[in-house]
């Protein structure tokens, strides 16, 4: 039942992923000619977030809120009980979450960062640290906005772009022990585990590691928080990579993980394939403190800023997130894209993780210094050559240091996200082909500089320009090789 869905073709013995679903509804796509793509990326300030979707062929920006919902989820939309307070939909969702995570309370919120806002406001005092395996952009922004600071304690191996370690998202337990001792519990707001990790290649965290983190939190009386936004890929990796879990049900692994943490929160734009979020806890005091903020910032406690239709679909999406045949789909497609790219020598994060394929822009563009945002430049160039919209996950996605200097990212990555059940194998082959062409012509790509730099979450809406108009020369080279072909 839990066999990973690949088949080997008869001619070449090539390992090919197999979709365990079919398309029932489709959306038309357009691939603009290269001159128009060049104009579009220029107008977007070389920031793929600012491209209009009508100008994008393959939208691999993110999986957030754009995963394909199942027919069962669409059917559930119609069941929604649309009342401001006491909606039946809320109780159905609450029951599903309680079965899944085993926590007493559920607080809905409009998306993951809304949960982070509430958590930070409840737990973080100025000057306190929040320790985590690795940060996510919005998590860090909420903590620092309240005067807290983020300390990342990923293992050294986790920061190597290429490795054969199965759980590169693990926290370094020895460093955690010494940091807790050095800071003292009163200076630590909470300890957070993100599984899988977003900014370092969708790398998973083992249950063993989470258990050790949990023990340290308990021994020191520190609140433990689990970010479950990317849980479904992480569950796949636990099941297929962690010793001792081969025969454990996905639902049992999920409950075991949740039992290790005081608070579990998630973006339902990712987990459950809808648009929303939620916080779970069994702690009475924390629940009371947080629920006031939910009503203030999100909405009444039985909808928390979510549409009830989405809540109804979420209850179904969460059940599906415990089905191995469903959760294996993203990781096997990420692996397929990673393998295709590596056939052409393109440097990527290894092992392939969840969420999307991560290209190593530092090695791809060795001639561009981090101060000129190589991952941003590569994301813009990938759009230019293929109408493919990826996301910069490097220095542009970092906040500046307090003194205004650049905070250079540990890794300079371009993420080509694979929203669940959206793209086909021919899309994967097309992406690999265009990126391979770009890799052969990488010397044509130059750096970027800011024209308009917002002070918070600058990667979302900051505008940049190409140093020395390299994009024009890149488009000319493309036309020489591809002629009239798009
Ligand atoms: C690990 C993680 N945490 C939190 C968030 C924030 O969730 P949202 O985008 O719903 O605000 C994300 C979103 O990408 C995420 O990947």
| Domain parsing of the chain, residue ranges | 6-63+326-482, 71-324
Q: Residue 484: helix, strand or coil by DSSP?
A: coil
The arithmetic mean of pLDDT across residues 120-144, rounded, is 97
- Based on the residue annotation, tell me whether 270 is a catalytic residue of this protein: yes
Nearest-CA neighbor of 70 among 423, 329, 421, 424? 421
> DSSP alpha helices (H): ranges in 33-125?
34-43, 71-77, 88-101, 112-123
Q: Mutate which of 63, 113, 205 to test ligand 1's pocket (most atoms within 8 Å of Cβ)?
A: 113
Position with higher pLDDT, 20 vs 231: 231
- Residue in 479, 378, 433, 408 with CA at minimum distance from that of residue 47: 378
Share of the chain above pLDDT 70, in %: 99
Is 323 tagged catalytic? no
Q: Which residues contact 380 (CB under 8 A, 6 or more apart)?
A: 41, 46, 47, 48, 448, 466, 471
pLDDT digits (tens, 9 = 90+) for 347-404: 999 999 999 999 999 999 999 999 999 999 999 999 999 999 999 999 999 989 989 9
* H or E element in which residue 318 lies: helix 308-320
For residue 211, the tally of other CB atoms under 10 A from its CB is 13
pLDDT, mean over the chain: 96
Q: What is the pLDDT of residue 13?
A: 78
Q: Is the dihedral of CA 99, 212, 267, 67 positive or negative?
A: negative
Q: Are 60 and 390 in contact (CB under 8 A)?
A: yes
| Burial status of residue 448 (CB atoms within 10 A of its CB: 0-12, 13-18, 19 or more) | buried
Instruction: Report the alpha-carbon distance of residue 390 to residue 416 in Å, rounded.
Output: 5
- pLDDT reported for residue 1: 46
Average pLDDT over residues 22-39: 95
Q: Is the pLDDT of residue 33 over 80?
A: yes
Q: Indicate which residue's Cα is closest to atom 7 of ligand 1.
A: 112
N- to C-terminal Cα distance for the chain? 42
Q: Output the CA–CA distances (angstroms, integers) from residue 193 to 22, 103, 159, 228, 397, in the order listed.
A: 35, 17, 16, 9, 20
Buried-state track 297-325, b at ≥16 Cβ within 10 A, e below 16: ebbbbbbbbbbbbbbbbbbbbbbbbbebe
Considering the candidates 48, 137, 197, 254, report the single residue annotated as catalytic.
Answer: 137
Average confidence (pLDDT) over 112-125: 98
Assess whether the C-beta atom of 133 lies below 6 angstroms from ligand 1: no
Residue in 227, 233, 262, 360 annotated catalytic? 227
- Averaged pLDDT, 28-45: 97
Q: Where are the alpha helices (DSSP H) in 103-153?
A: 112-123, 137-145
- Return the SS3 of 1: coil
Distance separating alpha carbons of residues 268 and 109, to the nearest angstrom: 9
Q: How far apart are CA 100 and CA 82, in angstroms?
A: 24
Whole-number Å distance between alpha carbons of 365 and 442 = 7
Question: Which run of H or E residues covers position 325?
Answer: helix 324-327
pLDDT in tens, 425-474: 999 999 999 999 999 999 999 999 999 999 989 999 999 999 999 999 99
The Cα–Cα gap between 19 and 13 comes to 18
Ligand 1 pocket check for 277: Cβ under 6 Å: yes
The minimum-distance atom of ligand 1 relative to the CA of 268 is 10
CATH of 71-324, one of 3.40.50.1220, 3.40.640.10, 3.30.70.1520, 3.30.1240.10: 3.40.640.10
Question: Is residue 481 predicted with pLDDT exceeding 70?
Answer: yes
Could you confirm whether domain 6-63+326-482 is CATH 2.40.160.20? no
What per-residue confidence (pLDDT) applies to 466?
A: 98
Clarify whether 240 is annotated catalytic. Answer: no
DSSP codes of every residue in 237-290: HHHHHSTT-TTS-HHHHHHHHHHT-SEEEEETTTTTSSS-EEEEE--HHHHHHH
Q: What is the pLDDT of residues 179-210, one digit of tens each?
A: 999 999 999 999 999 999 999 999 999 999 99
pLDDT at position 3: 59
Distance 369 CA to ligand 1 centre (A): 28
Cβ 197 under 6 angstroms from ligand 1: no
Question: How confident is the model at residue 9, as a pLDDT?
Answer: 78
Q: What is the DSSP string of 190-210?
A: EEEEESS-TTTTS----HHHH
Structure tokens at 481: 């090789």
Look at residue 320 and give its three-state secondary structure. helix
Look up 393 and say whether it is catalytic.
yes
- Helix, strand, coil tally for the chain in percent (to 5): 45, 15, 40
H or E stretch at 107: strand 105-109
7-19: pLDDT as tens digits: 887 887 788 888 8
CA distance 201 to 357: 7
Q: Tens digits of per-residue pLDDT, 265-314?
A: 999 999 999 999 999 999 999 999 999 999 999 999 999 999 999 999 99
67-86 pLDDT, tens per residue? Answer: 999 999 999 999 999 999 99
Rounded distance between C-alpha atoms, residue 448 and residue 46, angstroms: 8
């Amino acid at each position: 039942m839990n066999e990973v869905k690949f088949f080997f073709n008869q001619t070449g013995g090539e390992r090919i992923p197999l979709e365990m679903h079919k398309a029932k509804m489709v959306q038309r796509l357009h691939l603009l000619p290269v001159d128009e793509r060049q104009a579009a990326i220029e107008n977007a300030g070389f920031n793929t977030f600012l491209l209009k979707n009508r100008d994008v062929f393959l939208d691999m920006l993110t999986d957030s809120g754009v995963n394909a919902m199942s027919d069962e989820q669409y059917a559930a939309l119609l069941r929604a009980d649309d009342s401001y307070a006491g909606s039946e939909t809320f109780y159905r969702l609450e029951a599903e979450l309680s079965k899944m995570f085993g926590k007493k309370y559920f607080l809905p919120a409009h998306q993951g960062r809304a949960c982070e806002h509430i958590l930070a406001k409840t737990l973080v005092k100025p000057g306190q640290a929040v320790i985590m395996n690795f940060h996510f952009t919005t998590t860090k922004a909420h903590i620092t906005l309240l005067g807290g600071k983020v300390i990342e304690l990923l293992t050294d191996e986790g920061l190597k772009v290429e490795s054969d370690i199965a759980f590169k998202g693990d926290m370094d337990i020895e460093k955690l022990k010494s940091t807790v001792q050095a800071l003292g519990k009163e200076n630590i707001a909470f300890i957070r585990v993100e599984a899988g990790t977003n900014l370092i290649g969708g790398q998973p965290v083992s249950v063993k590691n989470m258990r050790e983190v949990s023990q340290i939190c308990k021994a020191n009386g520190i609140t433990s928080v689990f970010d479950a936004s990317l849980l479904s890929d992480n569950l796949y990796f636990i099941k297929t990579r962690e010793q001792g879990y081969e025969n454990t049900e996905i639902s049992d692994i999920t409950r075991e993980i949740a039992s290790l943490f005081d608070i579990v929160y998630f973006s339902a734009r990712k987990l459950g394939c809808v648009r929303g979020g939620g916080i779970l806890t069994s702690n009475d005091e924390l629940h009371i403190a947080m629920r006031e903020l939910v009503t203030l910032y999100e909405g009444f406690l039985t909808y928390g800023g979510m549409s009830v239709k989405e809540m109804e679909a979420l209850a179904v999406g969460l059940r599906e997130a415990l089905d191995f045949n469903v959760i294996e789909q993203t990781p096997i497609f990420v692996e397929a894209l990673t393998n295709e790219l590596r056939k052409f020598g393109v440097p990527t994060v290894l092992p392939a993780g969840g969420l999307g394929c991560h290209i190593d822009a530092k090695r791809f563009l060795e001639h561009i210094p981090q101060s000129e945002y190589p991952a941003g430049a590569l994301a813009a160039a990938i759009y230019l050559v293929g109408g493919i919209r990826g996301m910069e996950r490097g220095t542009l996605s970092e906040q500046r240091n307090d003194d205004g200097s650049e905070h250079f990212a540990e890794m300079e990555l371009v993420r080509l996200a694979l929203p669940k059940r959206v793209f086909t194998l021919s899309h994967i082959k097309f992406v690999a082909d265009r990126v391979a062409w770009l890799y052969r012509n990488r010397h044509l790509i130059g750096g970027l500089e800011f024209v308009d730099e917002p002070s918070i979450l600058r990667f979302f809406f900051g505008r940049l320009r190409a140093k020395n108009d390299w994009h024009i020369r890149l488009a000319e080279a493309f036309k020489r090789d591809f002629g009239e072909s798009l």
